[in-house]
Amino acid sequence: MTLAPETTNTEHRLVGTGHVGEGADRYDRLRATGSVFKVAEPDREYWVVLDHDLVRQCLQDATTFSSSVISPLNPEPPFAMIPIQLDPPEHTQWKMLLARYFSPRQMEALRPGLEARCRELIADIKARGECDLLHDFALKFPTAAFLELMGLPLDQLPTFLEWEKQITTPDDKGGFDEERQVGAMFAVVGYFAEEISRRRNAGTHTDDLLSDMLTWEIDGVPAPDDALINCCVLLFLAGLDTVTSTLAFSWHHLATHAADRAHVAATVARGEATDGIVEELLRYYAVPEVGRKVTRDVELDGHLLRAGDLVVFPLVTANRDGSFLADADRVVLDRAQAAPHLTFGAGPHRCVGSHLARIELNIALVEWHRELPDYVVPEGVEVSSYWGNIHGMYDLPLQVVDGADR
Ligand code: HEM
């Protein structure tokens, strides 16, 4: 094998803040100069893989690219999150158990509740004529959906929102107050521990995911409660800020691109499906960065990755790679065919919640644009974003444009 002369990038930073778009743009600039990079930051080293086909190949090869480490920010996790940090074959049983609850048909059953919740939030925004998209909508909607799916009371929403903020939203430099973050994680763990124990003691079975989880068996024996709590915490972590951030980037795009906004509003007004629009926004604004640990020496595009090395796959730039899609570097809402993007990952760990995410995004798009077809970021407002394991925004002020003002 011929290896490329190794150069190490010391400029790149996994975590940071900047204007909306910079989190993705800095990877796109890097991809223009190569597919695989070694990065050395003052306190961590890792590889970055940017090419669409390479990212897909690596994520499909769970033997070489282990999920035991999913972020260089946490290189020695004290325990494995279930199922995202388990490798096959241990991973497989958990994934099969979970997948049954997230099929398109099961998710469709949630539609009436999700639509009603969405309409409530939008009615409130319409009455005010302005909102902060993050706090008034993008955080509340997926969190309410999660509570409904799990069979938890909706009055828990403010508590869950506070935990979510403390765990997932970094400070204005992109870092975290670790004490606050760990405290919130413990609170989530404690909540699920208590809820599971309450349900076991009550001996009643309600028709929801959490109650069903209490009947799960792994290798023919009941799944222990600590594993179930762990899995609940992962669902909380995996299913909330991903949807929140996707809503934020999508609405920011639409608020700042009048022709695309008009296209969405017209599609909704005609009663046509919005799936293609959702798929393109998901592709272009992929918010997760996925990580792996290399289990054996392996050559990747002329670079030697050694056993034990950590790798980051920024899905957003893989999705904008022009070698797999025409006009990949811009949003095209009316593509003839949805692009086979990597936003939900690939291989054994591909997102189990993708159908839920899609239905949430479709409902949000339709319900919002039916009531609020025109809106902008108020003049003079600078919106900023952060990046790390997930890309996101702190807030997104929006002003509704009244029909009479247009
Ligand atoms: C737009 C929203 C979402 C995006 C972009 C997204 C993205 C992803 C990605 C990229 C992975 C693979 C991670 C890896 O390979 O290490 C993943 C896994 C996962 N996601 Fe999502 N996700 C979203 C929404 C959801 C929702 C709504 C749920 C459920 C409530 C969910 C639950 C999970 C779980 C449980 C896994 C782990 C699957 C496994 O390990 O086999 N996700 N997600």
399 close to 378: Cβ distance less than 8 angstroms? yes
- Hey, what are 28's tokens? 């796109």
Return d(Cα 248, Cα 287) in angstroms, integer. Answer: 10
Query: Is residue 102 a contact partner of residue 364, using CB atoms and an 8 Å limit?
Result: no
The residue type of 149 is L
Cβ partners under 8 Å of residue 230, min gap 6: 79, 81, 82
CA dihedral sign of residues 269, 273, 276, 278: positive
Q: Whose CA is nearest to atom 19 of ligand 1?
A: 351
Tens of pLDDT, residue by residue over 104-160, are 999 999 999 999 999 999 999 999 999 999 999 999 999 999 999 999 999 998 999
Residues 189-223: pLDDT tens digits? 999 999 999 999 998 778 899 999 999 999 999 99
Question: Is residue 169 predicted with pLDDT exceeding 80?
Answer: yes
CA angle 42, 43, 45 (to 5 degrees): 90
45 CA distance to ligand 1 centroid (A)?
Answer: 25
Q: pLDDT of 295-308, one tens digit each? A: 999 999 999 999 99
- Mean pLDDT, the chain, integer: 94
Q: Are 53 and 323 in contact (CB under 8 A)?
A: yes
Point out the ligand 1 atom lying closest to the alpha carbon of residue 349: 41
At residue 317's C-alpha, the angle toward residues 315 and 319, to 5°, is 70
Ligand 1 atom, smallest distance to 360 CA: 27
Which region, left, alpha or beta, applies to residue 203 given φ > 0 means left and ψ of -120 to 50 means alpha? Answer: left
- Nearest Cα neighbor of 381 from 159, 132, 124 is 132
CA-nearest residue, atom 17 of ligand 1: 351
Q: Which atom of ligand 1 is nearest to the CA of 240?
A: 27
**Ligand 1 centroid, distance to 84 Cα (angstroms):** 9
pLDDT more than 90, % of the chain: 85
Distance (Å) from CA 90 to ligand 1 centroid: 18
Residue 320 Cα to chain centre, angstroms: 17
Q: Check residue 405 and give its pLDDT.
A: 60
- Per residue in 232-266, is it b (16+ CB within 10 Å) or e — as a string? bbbbbbbbbbbbbbbbbbbbbbbbeeeebbeebbe
Question: How far does the centroid of ligand 1 lie from the alpha carbon of residue 287, in Å?
Answer: 11
How far is Cα 65 from Cα 69, in angstroms, rounded to an integer? 9
Ligand 1 atom at shortest distance from the alpha carbon of 142: 27
Q: Which residues form ligand 1's pocket by a CB distance below 6 Å?
A: 59, 67, 70, 83-84, 95, 146, 234-235, 238-239, 242-243, 246, 287-288, 290, 343-345, 349, 351-353, 356-357
CB 125 within 8 A of CB 396: no
**Termini Cα distance of the chain:** 62
- Distance from the CA of 288 to the center of ligand 1, in angstroms? 9
Q: Nearest C-alpha to atom 39 of ligand 1 is from which residue?
A: 349
Please provide residue 82's backbone torsions phi and psi, each rounded to the nearest 5 degrees.
-100, 130
Q: Compute the distance from residue 185 Cα to the ligand 1 centre, in Å.
A: 18
For ligand 1, the distance from its centroid to the CA atom of residue 242, given in whole angstroms, is 8
Number of neighbours of residue 78 by Cβ within 10 angstroms: 5
Is the sign of the CA dihedral 254, 257, 258, 263 positive or negative? negative
Peptide bond into 5 cis (omega under 30): no
Of ligand 1's listed atoms, the one at least distance from the Cα of 146 is 30
The atom number, within ligand 1, closest to the CA of 357 reads 27
**What band does 2 get if pLDDT is binned at 50, 70 and 90?**
low
- Closest atom of ligand 1 to 346 CA is 15
Mean pLDDT of 315-336: 96
DSSP string, 273-306: --HHHHHHHHHHT--BEEEEEE-S-EEETTEEEP
Which of 100-104, 174-178, 208-212, 311-315 is least confident? 174-178
How far apart are the CA of 238 and the centre of ligand 1, in A?
Answer: 5
Task: Report CA torsion sign: 200, 203, 207, 212.
Answer: positive
Most confident of 75-79, 119-123, 148-152, 164-168: 119-123
The model's pLDDT over 338-361, given as tens digits with 9 standing for 90+, comes to 899 999 999 999 999 999 999 999
The single residue listed with the structure tokens 């597919």 is 35
Rounded distance, CA 79 to CA 348, Å?
A: 20
Question: pLDDT at residue 404 above 70?
Answer: no
- Residue 1 is predicted with a pLDDT of 60
**What's the rounded Cα separation, in Å, for the pair 193 and 195?**
6
Q: Are 150 and 232 in contact (CB under 8 A)?
A: yes
Ligand 1 pocket test, candidate residues 242, 284, 351, most atoms within 8 A of CB: 351
Contact, 369 vs 268, CB < 8 A? yes
Q: pLDDT for 275-294, tens place per residue?
A: 999 999 999 999 999 999 99
Contact at 8 Å (CB) between 91 and 349? yes
The residue contributing the CA closest to ligand 1 atom 27 is 239
Q: Do 216 and 228 contact (CB within 8 A), yes or no?
A: yes
Mutation choice for ligand 1 from 55, 147, 242, CB with most ligand atoms inside 8 A? 242
Q: How far is the CA of 292 from the centre of ligand 1 (A)?
A: 15
Contact 48, 12 (CB under 8 A): yes
C-alpha–C-alpha distance, residues 256 and 251, integer Å: 8
- Of 1-15, 22-36, 139-153, 218-232, least confident by mean pLDDT is 1-15
